[in-house]
Amino acid sequence: MKIQFSKDTLQKAINALAKVSQNKTSSNLPGAIYITTKNGKVEMQANDYEIGIRITIDANIIEEGTIVLSTRYFQEWVRKTPTDTITLESNAETKQLLLSSESSQFNLITMNPDDFNLVEQIQDENHIDVDGEQFKQMIDLTNYAAASEEDRPIFTGALLEGEDKNLTMVATDTHRMAVKKITLDTPMPVAMRILIPTKTLAEVSRLLPTDQPTVVRIIWNRTNVVFLFDTIYLFSRLIEGQYPDYEKVIPSQFDSSAILNCRDFAGAVDRVSLLAKDASYNFIRYDWDEKEVTLSTQNAEIGMAKEEVLCEFKGTPFTISFNGRYIGDILRHSSGDRIHLYLKQNGPVVIRQDDNPNYTYVVTPVRTN
């Protein structure tokens, strides 16, 4: 095999594959990238069994072939090499790959391509097309609310549910939940309800181009999903299990509501959290009054923090406490001037924003005496 690459194209492809190729969970040649020539193009793959990525790029193919090599040295050497063109040339006898550019050479011992498990093809599929920017926003506005790896598997995923022209993404760790809905241009061929690992969606969000309009084709069956965009084919297992009925979690009756300036509110939560996060439950007390809300927390060993934030409040003044991190999280994912809170004595708060329509965040209060 002998191929000449543009450095930028090669580096972009390696960076797209690097994370998956280096996942330690894989028993499939961890830390390896597979490269082959196919129909006049170069195909590169990384696979960790949960996620597999395949990228097809243009390059000058001088001699066809297939090799598997160590991602780490490949990635670092290409990054540190300041030339426009990089040549890969394999030697079947020595099983070495020569990376070269002008005055620089790197010989890497290669692995056996037969040991590499190729990224799977998806079978019996349905598909929909979604605008890339909208899909990236869906991921970014919901996935942070999911549970971390250690918890119950279904809550480490995000639900992607669709019917007709409506597509909804939901993530929750059971204490708070984020829901984002978008409207598709054309109705879906069949209804969809799949649970995708947030790890997969993080890769999709990372790889989606932000400098050009992109369409993401989502192809799914009962056990797997594929995201197809740009030069990328990303295959992922789905999470099995029964996801709760998220609609039921969103309350529809409220005692009161408040409108706050997003930046002022975020600053106040951030400062009170300094102290709250060192206390046992990280809770912040909210005293709602007609024209302002007072946020406070105390810790016998350190001291007391208090913030006043102006608000347009409707309802009867009352007191409620929330985990500082959960409110901080939604404020970090907020944009625009105004944020709306829909409140209920001892009940979950629903948070919405002017600048992010069809986006709902729900947080359960902390019970205090």
267 belongs to the binding site for a second copy (CB under 8 A):
yes
Q: Could you tell me which stretch among 233-241, 252-260, 271-279, 361-369 binds a second copy (CB under 8 A)? A: 271-279
Per residue in 44-82, is it b (16+ CB within 10 Å) or e — as a string? bbbbbebbbbbbebebebeeebbbbbbbeebbebbeebe
CB of 224 to a second copy, least distance (A): 35
271 belongs to the binding site for a second copy (CB under 8 A):
yes
Residue among 49, 73, 144, 318 that touches a second copy (CB under 8 A): 73
Judge residue 6's burial from the number of C-beta atoms within 10 Å of its C-beta, 0-12 exposed, 13-18 middle, 19 or more buried: middle
Residue among 107, 123, 335, 368 that touches a second copy (CB under 8 A): 107
CB of 271 to a second copy, least distance (A): 5
104 belongs to the binding site for a second copy (CB under 8 A):
yes
Task: Tell me the two tokens of residue 216.
Answer: 């993401």
CB of 142 to a second copy, least distance (A): 27
**Are the beta carbons of 107 and 122 closer than 8 angstroms?**
no
77 belongs to the binding site for a second copy (CB under 8 A):
yes
β strands within 186-302, DSSP E? 192-197, 215-220, 224-229, 232-237, 256-261, 283-288, 292-299
302 belongs to the binding site for a second copy (CB under 8 A):
yes
Q: Which amino acid is at 82?
A: P
303 belongs to the binding site for a second copy (CB under 8 A):
yes
- Cα distances from 255 to residues 264, 314, 317, in angstroms, run 24, 9, 10
Residue among 27, 39, 40, 103 that touches a second copy (CB under 8 A): 103
Query: What is the spatial distance between Cα 148 and Cα 174, in angstroms, rounded to a whole number?
Result: 12
CB of 298 to a second copy, least distance (A): 8
Residue among 131, 308, 337, 354 that touches a second copy (CB under 8 A): 308
Which one, 131 or 287, has the nearer CB to a second copy? 287
277 belongs to the binding site for a second copy (CB under 8 A):
no
Q: Could you tell me which stretch among 56-64, 172-180, 227-235, 301-309 binds a second copy (CB under 8 A)? A: 301-309
- Cα distances from 91 to residues 34, 96, 97, 124, 289, in angstroms, run 16, 5, 6, 40, 76
Residue among 58, 63, 76, 149 that touches a second copy (CB under 8 A): 76
89 belongs to the binding site for a second copy (CB under 8 A):
no
Q: Could you tell me which stretch among 103-111, 113-121, 166-174, 337-345 binds a second copy (CB under 8 A)? A: 103-111
Residue among 270, 287, 337, 354 that touches a second copy (CB under 8 A): 270
- Cα distances from 51 to residues 4, 185, 209, 214, 284, in angstroms, run 28, 28, 19, 21, 39
**Are the beta carbons of 287 and 319 closer than 8 angstroms?**
yes
The bridge status of strand 96-101 relative to strand 176-183 is: unpaired
3-state secondary structure of 102: coil
Q: Could you tell me which stretch among 72-80, 162-170, 238-246, 320-328 binds a second copy (CB under 8 A)? A: 72-80
Task: Tell me the two tokens of residue 322.
Answer: 């929330």
Which one, 160 or 260, has the nearer CB to a second copy? 260
Which one, 190 or 310, has the nearer CB to a second copy? 310
Q: Could you tell me which stretch among 173-181, 207-215, 265-273, 360-368 binds a second copy (CB under 8 A)? A: 265-273
Which one, 249 or 266, has the nearer CB to a second copy? 266
The bridge status of strand 224-229 relative to strand 215-220 is: antiparallel
Size of site (CB under 8 A) for a second copy: 30
268 belongs to the binding site for a second copy (CB under 8 A):
yes
Around Cβ 314, how many Cβ atoms within 10 Å? 13
Which residues in this chain contact a second copy in the complex, by CB under 8 A?
Answer: 70, 73, 76-77, 80-82, 96, 103-109, 267-268, 270-271, 274-275, 301-309
